[in-house]
Amino acid sequence: MTDCGINKECRAFRRLFTLVVCGIATGCGTPESSPAQPTDQVRVIPQKPTNEPSSVNDDVLPRDIVDGDHVAASVFRRSQPDPHLNAKRLAASGIHVLQSDRLILLTDRDPATVQDLPAIADALFEHLHQACGPLRPTEQGAEFQAIGCLMSDVDRFETAGLIPEEIGALRHGQQWGYRFWVRDQDEVYYRRHLVLHEFVHVYMTVDTPANDLLGQWFMEAAAELYATHRKAAAGPEFAVMPHGFRGFDGWGRISAIRRRRIDLPGDGAERQPLPSLTEVLSGAAGQQVQDANYRWWWALGWMLNRHPNYCDHWEHLCHCRSQTEFDTAFASLTSVERNRLNTDWLLFCESLCGGFDPNRSFARHSPNETYPATVHVLADQGWQDTGCDVKSEDQLNVSSSGRCVLNDTTIPWESESNGITLEYNQGRPIGELVAVLVDSKNAVVSRRMTVGKEWAWNSTTSGRLWLQINDSEHDRANNSGEYVVQILNE
């Protein structure tokens, strides 16, 4: 028992029965190129009996639990617990207290190594305020302030009474109400990332009913999206697209997705077909590789947040404050855009790379074409719809002509549709005309196929044919020109 007041708070929180458990982790010292990956899961704690100990103070209970009201119908968010921290006693336990307006961080690390974290959390709070809408006030008018433990030695925090028994085994991170716990990481970036991930969970759950959290995929996608950050001269930036390993040590989402797509060394499970949107939404994409859901949830969150067709829907989802509200908003997205979204998801993952250009590299859809079709494939765009539906056993004959300029910097690199063998992307020469087939259920995208100047192909699957001029999706802006492609169906 300590003076920190956590035990009192924990008794109160036992009336909550939903706990967001974040096992986001990569093994220590895991660079982006490493196969180790993050994990997460949402665990539902069974509802406690109603005969709670009489010592529980209702003033720290969320209003929906106290009086049965639906929080979304209340004008208040959950009450902010007073942690009653005794910094002197915590210091005697080797636990330091760092504090900003929006975060109290308890850590047994050298405080000099994490002193920037509370201020970054403050900046993230402002970002979330803009992206997800403001939080309602508490009934007492308390300011939002999360309480996080960043722990090198978990036993030290347990001994100090800072980890309630409901938390159970802690893999990497967990969040509960205004509080969260994170195991320390070797990598500087990933340490910050995990803390910010849990901070997002706090923001997005304290204003929703405890038994009415939004969809799991969405909660984790949002936490991953907004925790992905970059320190810049003007202040931290959030929801960024990493350009490479540097500055993002231990994160590794893009590398993991690329290993799934390209025949790089890795275990067999890593080289399965890209998961469909349905698999990602249900969490099934992470079944074969431990902790793999996080890479897909991050990617989906980033795509929805940045794609011009879906960013308004994403913003709407972020403003939801109950599952009912969320389900209605998500259904409006899926019913209107679902088929297109399925395809956009597959083609985004197929071509995802560090620095992916949201202005040029999302898939471009076209109206249906009839054979013979003439298609103009632009060098400064990613996957482009031929408009050509293909049936199983169709035989296509494709020919192309034209020139394009790639990487027009000091010396323009001109290419025809066989490509330039000076530089490669995804194992193929840049400038090469390549194709994929998205199956008719929008659930599977094929491996890349070389088209070049002439291509005869017997399809074994029904679907839609897509083309692009091979280049990295972070490097389209300095391209120009097009290939003109004739597509015959014999």
Q: DSSP per residue over 319-339, as a string?
A: T--SHHHHHHHHHHHHHHHHH
What CA–CA distance (Å, rounded) separates 374 from 387?
10
- To Zn ion, the closest distance from the beta carbon of 207 in angstroms equals 17
Q: DSSP per residue over 97-118, as a string?
A: EEE-SSEEEEESS-GGGTTTHH
Binding segment for Zn ion (CB under 5 A), chosen from 6-14, 215-223, 319-327, 425-433, is: 215-223
280 binds Zn ion (CB under 5 A): no
- To Zn ion, the closest distance from the beta carbon of 224 in angstroms equals 8
- To Zn ion, the closest distance from the beta carbon of 20 in angstroms equals 6
* CB closer to Zn ion, 204 vs 398: 204
Binding residues with Zn ion: total (CB under 5 A) = 4
Binding segment for Zn ion (CB under 5 A), chosen from 93-101, 223-231, 333-341, 473-481, is: 223-231
Distance set, CA 256 to CA 38, 126, 229, 293, 428 (Å): 10, 30, 19, 11, 20
* CB closer to Zn ion, 20 vs 95: 20
- To Zn ion, the closest distance from the beta carbon of 214 in angstroms equals 12
* CB closer to Zn ion, 160 vs 289: 289
- To Zn ion, the closest distance from the beta carbon of 399 in angstroms equals 50
- To Zn ion, the closest distance from the beta carbon of 173 in angstroms equals 7
What CA–CA distance (Å, rounded) separates 297 from 216?
10
- To Zn ion, the closest distance from the beta carbon of 64 in angstroms equals 22
Binding segment for Zn ion (CB under 5 A), chosen from 21-29, 153-161, 226-234, 284-292, is: 21-29
- To Zn ion, the closest distance from the beta carbon of 238 in angstroms equals 16
Q: How many CA atoms are closer than 13 Å to the CA of 375, on its beta-carbon side?
A: 33
Distance set, CA 145 to CA 12, 148, 199, 403, 450 (Å): 18, 10, 10, 58, 55
- To Zn ion, the closest distance from the beta carbon of 197 in angstroms equals 6
* CB closer to Zn ion, 223 vs 254: 223
* CB closer to Zn ion, 220 vs 473: 220
Burial of 348 (0-12, 13-18, 19+ CB in 10 A): buried
223 binds Zn ion (CB under 5 A): yes
204 binds Zn ion (CB under 5 A): no
22 binds Zn ion (CB under 5 A): yes
* CB closer to Zn ion, 217 vs 345: 217
* CB closer to Zn ion, 175 vs 446: 175
Q: Distance of alpha carbon 346 from its chain centroid, rounded?
A: 15
Nearest residue by C-beta to Zn ion? 22
Question: For 421-456, b where at least 16 C-beta lie within 10 A, e where not — what string?
Answer: eebebbebbbbbbbbbbbbeebbbbbebbebbeebe
- To Zn ion, the closest distance from the beta carbon of 292 in angstroms equals 14
Q: One symbol per residue from 412 to 451: x for binding Zn ion (CB under 5 A), - otherwise; what is it?
A: ----------------------------------------
Binding segment for Zn ion (CB under 5 A), chosen from 202-210, 221-229, 332-340, 366-374, is: 221-229
* CB closer to Zn ion, 302 vs 466: 302
* CB closer to Zn ion, 22 vs 213: 22
3-state secondary structure of 195: helix
Residues 34-53, interacting with Zn ion (CB under 5 A): 40
* CB closer to Zn ion, 167 vs 487: 167
* CB closer to Zn ion, 202 vs 445: 202
Question: Do β-strands 373-378 and 480-489 pair in parallel, antiparallel, or remain unpaired?
Answer: antiparallel
Binding segment for Zn ion (CB under 5 A), chosen from 19-27, 80-88, 102-110, 355-363, is: 19-27
Binding segment for Zn ion (CB under 5 A), chosen from 7-15, 16-24, 26-34, 207-215, is: 16-24
- To Zn ion, the closest distance from the beta carbon of 262 in angstroms equals 28
167 binds Zn ion (CB under 5 A): no
Residues constituting the chain:
490
Q: Residues interacting with Zn ion, by CB under 5 A?
A: 22, 40, 220, 223
